[in-house]
């Protein structure tokens, strides 16, 4: 009787194992908790609205910086960079990082193009326009969070 030794590590099996390992590593590296793309970008004022804009956004836990690239929409020059601060916040869905950058010395009544990120991962480009230096009267309606999913009663105040 002749024994034949069969190796598991044939060329074909080795390729399948390598492909599975690369796929598993890729899925581990790019799981949602590690993604650092900006989300929930909001604009607020913490100073004179015609000259400042504060931009806040969130990322996952592993973001390494708070930067805003911005320039006038009509400007073709290299964008300026505003640098801000970040704070990690524990939520029921895990730790998130909240970023905030205040842009200063903006020009009144000018449209700006901006994107937020950490210097490597960036949001898409967005725009905002600063109000005129001489404020014009305006009205607005402010709604709080209803903590629900029914908005049927909201038209009543309007």
Q: What is the pLDDT of residues 119-147, one digit of tens each?
A: 888 999 999 999 998 877 878 777 777 66
pTM: 0.68
Q: What is the mean pLDDT of the chain?
A: 81
pLDDT higher than 50, residue 51: yes
**Residue pLDDT, tens place only, 69-92:** 999 998 877 888 889 998 988 888
**Residue pLDDT, tens place only, 34-46:** 567 898 999 998 8
Please state the CATH superfamily assignment of the domain spanning residues 35-129 in this structure.
Purple acid phosphatase-like, N-terminal (2.60.40.380)
What is the residue extent of each domain of the chain? 35-129
**Residue pLDDT, tens place only, 3-24:** 665 555 666 677 777 777 777 6
Radius of gyration of the chain (CA): 25
Q: How far is CA 141 from CA 8, 129, 155, in A?
A: 70, 20, 12
- Strand 67-72 relative to strand 53-59, pairing: unpaired
pLDDT for residue 109: 94
Residue 40: phi, psi to the nearest 5?
Answer: 55, 50
Q: Residue 82 in contact with residue 119, Cβ under 8 Å?
A: no
């Amino acid at each position: 009787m002749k024994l034949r030794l069969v190796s598991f590590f044939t060329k074909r099996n080795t390729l399948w194992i390598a492909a599975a390992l690369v796929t598993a590593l890729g899925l581990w590296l790019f799981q949602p908790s590690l993604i650092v793309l900006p989300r929930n970008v909001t604009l607020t004022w913490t100073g004179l609205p015609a000259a400042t804009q504060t931009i806040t956004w969130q990322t996952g836990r592993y973001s390494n910086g708070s930067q805003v690239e911005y320039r006038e929409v009509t400007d073709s020059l290299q964008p300026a960079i505003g640098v801000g601060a970040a704070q990690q916040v524990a939520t029921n869905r895990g730790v998130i990082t909240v970023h905030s950058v205040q842009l200063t010395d903006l020009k009144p009544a000018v449209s700006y193009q901006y994107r937020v990120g950490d210097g490597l991962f960036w949001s898409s480009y967005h725009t905002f326009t600063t109000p005129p230096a001489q404020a014009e009267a305006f009205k607005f309606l402010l709604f709080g969070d209803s903590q629900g999913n029914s908005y049927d009663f909201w038209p009543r105040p309007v």
